[in-house]
Amino acid sequence: MPMTEVRQNFRDLSQGMKTLKGLIFDAQLRHGDNQAFRWMLSNVAARVDENENIAPSKKKASERIDGVVATIMAIARSQSEGPPPVSKYETEDLLVV
């Protein structure tokens, strides 16, 4: 399966998070009333940098936002231009146990 790196930084996550925010505010996000996803959404806060880029953050250390971050990463990747970069997992021989 092709792999693509999406770093957990403002540059790579900002546009995806802004798109997700727009989908939520426009009532266009469809998640099948998934209660776990709804709960994770309620745990997300936004970090903002000096360039007005945004990235997800937890409100509290004990809360979970993994599903939302995965969604933001998927949106960010779908919005990127050009073919995906080649992953080291596609080019290196890895020991499979």
Q: Look over the chain and give the mean of its residue pLDDT values, rounded to a whole number.
A: 86
Residue 92 has pLDDT above 80, yes or no: no
CA dist 60 and 43 (Å) reads: 8
CA dist 8 and 56 (Å) reads: 9
Residue 15 has pLDDT above 80, yes or no: yes
Look-up of token digits 């995965």: 70
pLDDT of residue 44: 94
pLDDT digits (tens, 9 = 90+) for 31-49: 889 999 999 999 999 999 9
Token pair for 39: 């709960």
pLDDT of residue 78: 85
Residue 97 has pLDDT above 60, yes or no: no
Nearest by Cα to 68 from 24, 10, 4, 3: 24
Once rounded to an integer, what is the mean pLDDT over residues 66-84? 85
